[in-house]
Amino acid sequence: MNTSTTGLLRHPFAFLKAQPAWALLCNFLLIMAIFTLSRIFFFVMNKSYFPEVDAAHLLAMLWGGLQFDLTALLYINSLYLLMQLLPFGFRHRGAYQTVARWVFALANGIAVIVNCMDMPFFRFSNRRATCTIFSEFGNDTGGVLKIVLKAMAEYWYVTLFAVAAVAALWLLYRTPSSTGVRRTGLAYYMAHTVIMVVLGGFAVIGIRGGFNFHARPVTLINANRYVNRGPETVIVLNTPFCLIRTINKKVFKNPHYFDTDTETEKTALFSPLHHPTPEGAFRPLNVVVIIWESFGKEYTGFFNRHLDNGTYRGYTPFLDSLFAQGLTFKYSFSNGRRSVDAMPSILSSVPTFVESFIATPYLVNYISSLADALKPKGYYSAFFHGAPNGSMGFQPYAKAADFDDYFGFNEYGNSKDFDGWWAIWDEDFLQFYAAEMGKMKQPFITAVFTATSHHPFQIPEKYRGKFPQGDHPILQCIAYSDYSMEQFFRTMSQYEWFNNTLFVITADHTNQPLHEEYYTDLGLFAVPILFYHPGNNLKGLVDSIPVQQTDIMPSVLGYLNFDKPYFAYGQDIFATKASDKFVINYNNGVYQLLQNGYMQQFDGEKIKAAYSYKTDTLLHHNLNGQIAGQKEMEMLTKSVIQQYMERMIENKMRVSE
């Protein structure tokens, strides 16, 4: 043993500081600490979404989050780990360690930035990003980049946190000392080989998520172990973990709640195959479906006269007047939390479970839709969206759903009306939509997806100051879109086909809530659903049943007295008994079923909670195990889930199949 090494052994800490493995452990603890701080910052920034999380529960979730941070960071640092654990002397060279430092800083810097990006965008999606985000925004690279850059300025405190975190990675990085370290000899190679094997073994265990080698590697659903409510999983998880665990993963898996012996029971509880028996002849009404971007029920005055001590008036005076003239519902909900969830739910009656149908490989499945169902009745169909063609995967969906034509930014043909971010301004595009329908042969089925009430929440310059600002920038956009809708209906009313048309108005999803009741697991899905037939007696505010987006397709077909079998996961509100009516949606690993005045939350294995959602609007009182018929609700939930998964996997989503 040389003199230098002997000196180091006399000073154990100096000896440790000279070892690459010791530097590796110190640097790994550094990035783990930064991820924990990121989790705390995420919680503080979005605390209003988690009103029931106290200090003790937060600590428990922070502890649980370490498992997911460990797994993600071991993946991310696999090259760095290998570089520092190889049992060779060249690791101690200055140039080699400089490269290792850059590998560590770049890999973890990107991970920190990705993790921070979800902090503000959680408010729009209420979930962590997964790999389906690349399918969702694959054709919107330019627009997304602009939104990200604007968000960096708008949420400057998140940007500052990310910059500080990346700077800490570089400034606090520990480089092993190379002074007097022995780099050759049998003892050196044997000792460092043992270190590599031991630490490498622990790395494998960490990636899997535990010591049980018979268990599957830790996945997103394991976050439920540490939470009281499904949405809280976003605190436990981190975004890099969610991205890594969803790479090339099968989105849907058959849970096998029912086997071949109970197949009849499964379909008796629920079946997506509808065989209508209308009482009258088919009515060839035109159908116009309006999907309003981020139009939460909270923004209306019609549904919220009780808010702010009775002083709340909302931001949609025109729509409020239309609600009074049509059929709408006190308890109406979306089936997803993103724009890509809405089209399949509304137009094909396919809800979002786990991931949006549009963002998965199952988009190639044969699917039904309003356009597909009404085509044999002589209907022409078209879908309208003012964003660049291909945006959000809407155009491929429209084609899969058998719409005859798609009208987007290209067909609009005037870039001067582009909002500079996402799409043509609502007022201009809705006028274009009305004009195109004026050219169509009847009967027709069309749908339009608005865009202006989307982040970054801007309106045309000529309307600045015209609409109420409220407490959030989206509110003036909602008011502007309401004004645009009023002009749209004024134009349409001039056409002779107006009174022969059934209008359906709903939203893709809610946006950032402003009042306590809209922060709940149910309030985050509260969107309006309106059926409006001018000059008809289709009117009223229904408070006896819950209604969802997937009910729109079967209800439209029911109203038209459609007489052919069709495929839909929703129910015809005009034909379903109140006691049989249910709503189901998916919320961060938890399925929420509403039926007979109760909401039951099921995590795929067991009931998590149950609430009387009509009387307990803030969902404070968990009645799990105290509700009559709760077992029947659980079995219904399982039936819907299994048939959804089976039919997705086996491509059996049409009656003809």
* 129-173 per-position pLDDT tens digit: 877 666 555 556 566 677 777 778 888 999 999 999 999 999 999
Least confident among 109-118, 221-230, 490-499:
221-230
Determine the longest span between alpha carbons in the chain, in angstroms: 101
Please give the backbone phi and psi of residue 97, each rounded to the nearest 5 degrees, phi first: -70, -30
Question: Cα–Cα distance between 581 and 545 in angstroms, integer?
Answer: 7
Domain annotation covers residue 217: yes
Q: Is 340 helix (H, G, I), strand (E, B) or coil?
A: helix
Q: Is the pLDDT of residue 613 over 80?
A: yes
pLDDT in tens, 369-390: 999 999 999 999 999 999 888 7
- What pLDDT shows up at residue 307? 94
Domain annotation covers residue 591: no
- What pLDDT shows up at residue 271? 93
What is the pLDDT averaged over residues 164-190? 77
Domain of 569, in residue numbers: 281-575
Q: What letters, b where the CB count within 10 A reaches 16 and e where it falls short, cover 446-470?
A: bbbbbbbbbbbbbbbeeeeeebeee
Q: Is 291 helix (H, G, I), strand (E, B) or coil?
A: strand
Q: Is the pLDDT of residue 13 over 60?
A: no
- What pLDDT shows up at residue 397? 84
CA distances from 573 to 225, 286, 307, 528, 548 (A): 37, 19, 28, 15, 10
Identify the band that residue 180 occupies on the pLDDT scale cut at 50, 70 and 90: low
Read off the pTM: 0.76
Among 575, 605, 627, give the residue marking a domain's end: 575
Task: Express as a percent the part of the chain with pLDDT over 70.
Answer: 89
Q: Is 629 helix (H, G, I), strand (E, B) or coil?
A: coil
Domain annotation covers residue 641: no
Domain annotation covers residue 643: no
Residue type, 395: Q
Question: Cα–Cα distance between 149 and 165 in angstroms, integer?
Answer: 19
Least confident among 5-9, 312-316, 424-428:
5-9
User: What angle (nearest 5°) sits at the alpha carbon of residue 366, between those of residues 270 and 348?
Assistant: 55
pLDDT in tens, 468-504: 988 888 999 999 999 999 999 999 999 999 999 999 9
Residue 94 structure tokens: 């200055």
User: What angle (nearest 5°) sits at the alpha carbon of residue 253, between those of residues 249 and 258?
Assistant: 170
Identify the band that residue 18 occupies on the pLDDT scale cut at 50, 70 and 90: low
What is the pLDDT averaged over residues 328-344? 93
CA distances from 165 to 28, 108, 128, 131, 192 (A): 14, 10, 20, 24, 31
Same domain as 230, residue 301 = no
Same domain as 212, residue 330 = no
Start-to-end Cα distance in the chain: 77
Give which of 553, 212, 167, 202 is closest to 351, Cα–Cα: 553
Same domain as 112, residue 37 = yes
Identify the band that residue 8 occupies on the pLDDT scale cut at 50, 70 and 90: very low
Same domain as 499, residue 402 = yes
Q: Is the pLDDT of residue 452 over 70?
A: yes
- What pLDDT shows up at residue 657? 47
In sequence order, which residues have a C-beta less than 8 Å from that of residue 220 and are 6 or more positions away? 130, 233, 237, 241, 242, 245, 246, 589
- What pLDDT shows up at residue 419? 86
- What pLDDT shows up at residue 138? 54
The domain that contains 450 carries what CATH number? 3.40.720.10
Same domain as 294, residue 236 = no
Among 201, 226, 245, give the residue marking a domain's end: 245
In sequence order, which residues have a C-beta less than 8 Å from that of residue 296 and are 6 or more positions away? 507, 509, 510, 511, 513, 518, 526, 527
Give me the residues paired with residue 285 across strands. Answer: none
Same domain as 37, residue 119 = yes
Residue 369 burial (C-beta neighbours within 10 Å; 0-12, 13-18, 19+)? buried
Can you give the three-state secondary structure of 506-535, one letter per residue?
EECCCCCCCCHHHCCCCHHHECCEEEECCC
Question: Cα–Cα distance between 329 and 527 in angstroms, integer?
Answer: 10
Mean pLDDT for the chain overall: 87
Same domain as 164, residue 35 = yes
CA distances from 184 to 4, 187, 376 (A): 14, 8, 81
Question: Cα–Cα distance between 286 and 495 in angstroms, integer?
Answer: 12
Task: Express as a percent the part of the chain with pLDDT over 90.
Answer: 59
Integer Rg of the chain from CA: 28
Q: Is the pLDDT of residue 589 over 90?
A: no
Same domain as 225, residue 306 = no
In sequence order, which residues have a C-beta less than 8 Å from that of residue 616 and are 6 or more positions away? none
Domain annotation covers residue 202: yes
- What pLDDT shows up at residue 401? 87
Give which of 320, 232, 277 is closest to 521, Cα–Cα: 232
- Higher-pLDDT residue of 269 and 183 is 269
Same domain as 189, residue 41 = yes
- What pLDDT shows up at residue 612? 97
Domain annotation covers residue 265: no
Query: Are 53 and 189 contacting, i.e. CB atoms less than 8 angstroms apart?
Result: no
Please give the backbone phi and psi of residue 505, each rounded to the nearest 5 degrees, phi first: -125, 130
Among 509, 540, 575, give the residue marking a domain's end: 575
Same domain as 94, residue 239 = yes
Domain annotation covers residue 322: yes
Same domain as 305, residue 224 = no
Residue carrying the six token digits 């300025």: 153
Identify the band that residue 653 occupies on the pLDDT scale cut at 50, 70 and 90: confident
Identify the band that residue 634 occupies on the pLDDT scale cut at 50, 70 and 90: very high
Give me the residues paired with residue 332 across strands. Answer: 547
Residue 510 structure tokens: 């809610």
Question: Cα–Cα distance between 132 and 84 in angstroms, integer?
Answer: 34
Query: Are 553 and 567 contacting, i.e. CB atoms less than 8 angstroms apart?
Result: no
Question: Cα–Cα distance between 641 and 635 in angstroms, integer?
Answer: 10
Domain annotation covers residue 639: no
Q: Is the pLDDT of residue 208 over 70?
A: no
If one counts the domains in the chain, the total is: 2
- Note the residue count of the chain: 657
- What pLDDT shows up at residue 170? 94
Residue 327 structure tokens: 């059929």
Q: How far from chain centre, in Å, is Cα 169? A: 31
Residue 272 burial (C-beta neighbours within 10 Å; 0-12, 13-18, 19+)? buried
Q: Is the pLDDT of residue 404 over 90?
A: yes
Q: Is 652 helix (H, G, I), strand (E, B) or coil?
A: coil
Question: Cα–Cα distance between 617 and 632 in angstroms, integer?
Answer: 23
Same domain as 378, residue 304 = yes
- Higher-pLDDT residue of 4 and 122 is 122
pLDDT in tens, 519-541: 999 999 999 999 999 989 999 99
Q: Is the pLDDT of residue 233 over 80?
A: yes
What is the pLDDT averaged over residues 92-111? 90
Give me the residues paired with residue 330 across strands. Answer: none
Give the strand pairing for 332-333 and 405-407: unpaired
Least confident among 142-156, 175-189, 587-601:
175-189
Q: Is 327 helix (H, G, I), strand (E, B) or coil?
A: strand
